[in-house]
Every structure is written in structure tokens, then in C-alpha cells.
């Protein structure tokens, strides 16, 4: 990436001033949704609509040209026929980045207009996200430049080729208390594509992992080359759809690009250190495990207050290539001393339901001191029928964690686990609703760790921005 390219992307993702072109007081318009969402943004906001007027006392400029101040980013939601003219105006005004929400370009067969749009943008050096994007959001600066709901603040940056799936995933993460740093809906990718965004986000200080939803990539070789370098900086997790025959045909029709032979993607992803997710759940679960921001070894201790879930966790750990380590006699003896009489001090360590705050604090300490254990997987069935309290284990895990040993958690029990899961999220400890999903996420962390350790000494030429 050249310095000027990187600057344009900075204006796109970290703008000081944003113009909403097509801003509208009409609640049936997308231009209203974007206006409503952008209001929380702490930078300068300019509303533009050829009809002029105002929204809630805020002036609407009749064109971007008529704004005197500098504009970093234009978000455009106007009828397709006017988009090219507006991009030209943006160019003349010196705007370096634009997100085009407007649909009706290549995705509806209108290839030529889209190419014309690109030509004008290039002429003026305006970088484009879209068209046919649901927008971009950067929670690091409280900017929701989309027409969908706010995502939670966190450290995953999520880039989606499909707007609707992107929205559905954002809504899922709100529900599951998982936070995003950036959300980028790429739309038709006439200009800015996965390569540009991955390269940019690899040096973003607020991003801990990069999640991608991909239907098809046009410049595969370049992408893999870039991803391989960037994976050393930030773990990349990708959900690539169109594996099947019917799915591949549909992807081709949906995005207009060939989905391509799945085996080629598979091999390329492996080479580039990209973790390939099988499902939407995997994509977010795995991206979220990197809130720990570290690598791990593969010797796992499973700490649980219920036998059954511990066994399921052990099964999935082994399936993921993790080792459910045999505990040393010393560690086992130490645990025996502090746990209730009928607890099991093998691995999985079954503290039984009677164990509460003190037992969990002490168990964690013992396991953290054991150098033969790399990671602790805590699986808690939140009790509502003992006198222990429903959030005691969550509290103990946060209080007792040394922030050195890898700690992954699972809190089962639906609604009554919510407080515990939120407490974990607030403390950047990865947390999952089932033992299998927790163990799979730990497996992804281990899989990345192996790749990272193999490749880390090969210098990456991407400078850090911090």
C-alpha cells in the first residue's frame, strides 16, 4: 500500500468529518436511517440533500460543494442515476473516500455504469466502498455510518461481502455480547476490496482479529500474498460460502464474481494462515477468542462444576488436536485439598456443584502455577438451585485469572448465564454458551498459534502504526 492509499483509507475509517449525501427526514428513506445512526459520531457531521432544508434543526446543504470545511468521508444514499455526478462533485471538493450505499449497479446487471463510476472516482482519486453496501462503522470513534443498528464495541474487525448477512451477524453479536471495532460492508467492491481492507486493518491498533465473509475474490493471488503477511499481525478468520455446487452457482449470481473451486480456496487459506470457519457461529466464535490477543500451547486443563459438560469439552478438545493433559500428582494433590470430597481431580477436573468462589479462585491459582498446562477451559453450569449464587463462578474466574495463562470459558444455562457471560465479555475473557463451541474456539487459537510460530521469524514488511 502506498502512503497516499493508506491516507485515503485512514480518511475512510477514521474520518474527522463526514458528509451524509441523501440525508433525509423521511423515516421511510435509508438516508434517514443513516442520519439517525451517525448522530452519535463525535466528529463533524454535514448533511447534504439537493432539496436542502433541515433535519431536527440541523442544516441540510444542497450539495457537497457548498460546504466550506474539509470533508474526509462522504456516505452516499441517493438514486443510482445521480451517483456518478455526486462522486465527481466529491472529487472536485477534494473528498478522498466515499461509501456508496446506493444499489442498482453490477448486482442488477448494470456493469457499464459501475465501470463509469470507477473511472470518475479514479480520475479524482476518490476511494470507493460499494456500491450496494450497507455502510461502514468504526466503534473506536463511535461512528455508525450504516443503516443498520449499532454493534457493540469490541476488538473484532468484520468485513462482509454480503450486506444482509453482515447485518444479521452484527445483530447476532449484539445478542451474544460480542463486540466489533470496525464493520465494513464491501458491497460490489468496484474499488476497495478484501486486499485493501485486510492490509489496512492489519496495522489498526484497535483491531485484535479480522473476520471475513467472502463469496468470491477476484484477485486471488494478491489476496493470499497480502493475507499471509497480515496474518502475522492479526489473526484472520474467513467464512467462504459457495462450497457446494448450488451454493457456488448462487454466489456467482449474487456477487457477479465466480466463487471458484473450493479446494483452491482451502489450500490458499491454509498457506496464508487464514482460519477457515465452517459456519457463521465459527466465524464469530473464533474471531472472539483473540480478545486474549495471544497465542497458546495445546495442553489443556478443563475445570468444571458438572461432569457431563466436562466430558463433552474433553471430547471436542481432542477432536481439535488439543491435549487434555494428565495432571501431575502434585497438582492433583493440591486440588484434592481444596475441593469438596467427591470432586474429581483428574482432567477434566470436576469440582462438583458444591464448589463456589473460594474453590474456583484456588483451583485457578493451582492450575496457573502448573507449567505443564498451557490453557484452562472453564466450563460452568450456572446453578439456580444451590445457595452458591448465579454469578459466583464468573466473579472467581475474573478475580483469580493471572492474565498470563490462556483462559477460555463456557457458561451454560441460557438466560440465567447471561450476567456471567456479560461479565466475561467486559473483562475480555472469551466466553461461549456450549462446551463444544468453547473447545472449538480454543482449537482455532491453537491452530493459529502453530501457524504463527512457524512463520513469525519471517519478517513482515508492514510497519506498525503505534
Task: Tell me which stretch binds a copy of itself (CB under 8 A): 120-128, 240-248, 355-363, 368-376.
Answer: 240-248
At its nearest, how many Å lie between a copy of itself and the CB of residue 278?
A: 8
Interface with a copy of itself, residue 280, by CB under 8 A: yes
Closest alpha carbon to 138 in 172, 198, 179, 183: 183
| Helix, strand, coil in percent for the chain, rounding step 5 | 45, 20, 35
Q: Which residue's entry shows cell 462450497?
A: 243
- Give the separation between CA 143 and CA 76, rounded to whole angstroms: 15
- Considering the complex, state which of residue 306 and residue 445 has its C-beta at the smaller distance from a copy of itself: 306
Terminal CA-CA length for the chain: 17
At its nearest, how many Å lie between a copy of itself and the CB of residue 125?
A: 31
**Which residues, numbered 375-434, are part of the site for a copy of itself (CB under 8 A)?**
381-382, 384-385, 387, 412-417, 433-434
At its nearest, how many Å lie between a copy of itself and the CB of residue 104?
A: 8
How many residues at the interface with a copy of itself, by CB under 8 A? 81
At its nearest, how many Å lie between a copy of itself and the CB of residue 167?
A: 7
To 5 degrees, how large is the angle CA 79–CA 81–CA 85? 105
Per-residue DSSP letter, 344: B
- Give the separation between CA 92 and CA 418, rounded to whole angstroms: 51
Interface with a copy of itself, residue 112, by CB under 8 A: no
Closest alpha carbon to 115 in 123, 134, 94, 219: 123
**Which residues, numbered 71-100, are part of the site for a copy of itself (CB under 8 A)?**
none
Indicate which single residue of 60, 98, 324, 373 sits in contact with a copy of itself (rule: CB under 8 A): 324
Interface with a copy of itself, residue 125, by CB under 8 A: no
**Which residues, numbered 45-64, are part of the site for a copy of itself (CB under 8 A)?**
none
Give the contacts of 90 (CB within 8 A, at least 6 positions apart): 64, 71, 74, 98, 124, 126
- The residues with which 381 forms a beta bridge, in sequence order, are 412
Indicate which single residue of 279, 371, 457, 466 sits in contact with a copy of itself (rule: CB under 8 A): 279
**Which residues, numbered 173-202, are part of the site for a copy of itself (CB under 8 A)?**
173-176
- Considering the complex, state which of residue 311 and residue 419 has its C-beta at the smaller distance from a copy of itself: 311
Indicate which single residue of 19, 33, 60, 87 sits in contact with a copy of itself (rule: CB under 8 A): 33
Interface with a copy of itself, residue 167, by CB under 8 A: yes
At its nearest, how many Å lie between a copy of itself and the CB of residue 263?
A: 14
Interface with a copy of itself, residue 28, by CB under 8 A: yes
Indicate which single residue of 114, 204, 285, 350 sits in contact with a copy of itself (rule: CB under 8 A): 350
Interface with a copy of itself, residue 25, by CB under 8 A: no
Indicate which single residue of 10, 257, 271, 344 sits in contact with a copy of itself (rule: CB under 8 A): 344
- Give the separation between CA 406 and CA 44, rounded to whole angstroms: 41
Q: How many residues does the chain have?
A: 466
Interface with a copy of itself, residue 162, by CB under 8 A: yes
- Give me 263's grid cell: 479446494
Helix (H, G, I), strand (E, B) or coil at 215: coil
- Give the separation between CA 449 and CA 445, rounded to whole angstroms: 6
Indicate which single residue of 4, 54, 81, 108 sits in contact with a copy of itself (rule: CB under 8 A): 108
What per-residue string of b and e applies to 293-308 under the rule 16 or more CB within 10 Å gives b? eebbbbbbbbbbbbee
- Give the separation between CA 5 and CA 102, rounded to whole angstroms: 24
Interface with a copy of itself, residue 329, by CB under 8 A: no
Task: Tell me which stretch binds a copy of itself (CB under 8 A): 58-66, 186-194, 235-243, 444-452.
Answer: 235-243
Amino acid at each position: 500500500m502506498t502512503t497516499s492509499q493508506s491516507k485515503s483509507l485512514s480518511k475512510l475509517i477514521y474520518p474527522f468529518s463526514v458528509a451524509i449525501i441523501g440525508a433525509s427526514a423521511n423515516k421511510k428513506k435509508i438516508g434517514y436511517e443513516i442520519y439517525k445512526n451517525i448522530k452519535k459520531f463525535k466528529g463533524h457531521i454535514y448533511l447534504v440533500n439537493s432539496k436542502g432544508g433541515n433535519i431536527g434543526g440541523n442544516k441540510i446543504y444542497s450539495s457537497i460543494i457548498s460546504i466550506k470545511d474539509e470533508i474526509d468521508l462522504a456516505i452516499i444514499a441517493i438514486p443510482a442515476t445521480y451517483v456518478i455526478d455526486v462522486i465527481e462533485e466529491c472529487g472536485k471538493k477534494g473528498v478522498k473516500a466515499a461509501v456508496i450505499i446506493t444499489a442498482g449497479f453490477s448486482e442488477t446487471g448494470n456493469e457499464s455504469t459501475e465501470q463509469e463510476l470507477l473511472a470518475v472516482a479514479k480520475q479524482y482519486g476518490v476511494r470507493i466502498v460499494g456500491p450496494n453496501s450497507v455502510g461502514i462503522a468504526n466503534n473506536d470513534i463511535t461512528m455508525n455510518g450504516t443503516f443498520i443498528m449499532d454493534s457493540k464495541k469490541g476488538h473484532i474487525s468484520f468485513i462482509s461481502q454480503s450486506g444482509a448477512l453482515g447485518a444479521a451477524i452484527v445483530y447476532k453479536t449484539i445478542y451474544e455480547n460480542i463486540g466489533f471495532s470496525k464493520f465494513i460492508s464491501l458491497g460490489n467492491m468496484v474499488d476497495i476490496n478484501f486486499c485493501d481492507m485486510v492490509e489496512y486493518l492489519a496495522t489498526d491498533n484497535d483491531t485484535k482479529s479480522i473476520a471475513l465473509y467472502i463469496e468470491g475474490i477476484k484477485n486471488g493471488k494478491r489476496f493470499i500474498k497480502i493475507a499471509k503477511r497480515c496474518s502475522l499481525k492479526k489473526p484472520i478468520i474467513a467464512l467462504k460460502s459457495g462450497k457446494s455446487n448450488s451454493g457456488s452457482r448462487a454466489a456467482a449470481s449474487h456477487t457477479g464474481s465466480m466463487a471458484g473451486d473450493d479446494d483452491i480456496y482451502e489450500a490458499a487459506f491454509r498457506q496464508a494462515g487464514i482460519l477457515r470457519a465452517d459456519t457463521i457461529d465459527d466465524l464469530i466464535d473464533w474471531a472472539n477468542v483473540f480478545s486474549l490477543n495471544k497465542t497458546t500451547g495445546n495442553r489443556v486443563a478443563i475445570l468444571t462444576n458438572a461432569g457431563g459438560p466436562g466430558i463433552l469439552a474433553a471430547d471436542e478438545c481432542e477432536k481439535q488436536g488439543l491435549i487434555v493433559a494428565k495432571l501431575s500428582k502434585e497438582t492433583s494433590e493440591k486440588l484434592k485439598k481444596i475441593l469438596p470430597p467427591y470432586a474429581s481431580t483428574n482432567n477434566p477436573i470436576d469440582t462438583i456443584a458444591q464448589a463456589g468462589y473460594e474453590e474456583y479462585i484456588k483451583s485457578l491459582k493451582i492450575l496457573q502455577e502448573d507449567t505443564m498446562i498451557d490453557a484452562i477451559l472453564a466450563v460452568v453450569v450456572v446453578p439456580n438451585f444451590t445457595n452458591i449464587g448465579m454469578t459466583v463462578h464468573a466473579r472467581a474466574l475474573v478475580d483469580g485469572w493471572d492474565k498470563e495463562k490462556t483462559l477460555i470459558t463456557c457458561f451454560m444455562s441460557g438466560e440465567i448465564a447471561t450476567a456471567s457471560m456479560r461479565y466475561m465479555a467486559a473483562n475480555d475473557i472469551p466466553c461461549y454458551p456450549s462446551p463444544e463451541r468453547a473447545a472449538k474456539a480454543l482449537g482455532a487459537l491453537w491452530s493459529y498459534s502453530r501457524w504463527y510460530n512457524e512463520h513469525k521469524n519471517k519478517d513482515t514488511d508492514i510497519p506498525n502504526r503505534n
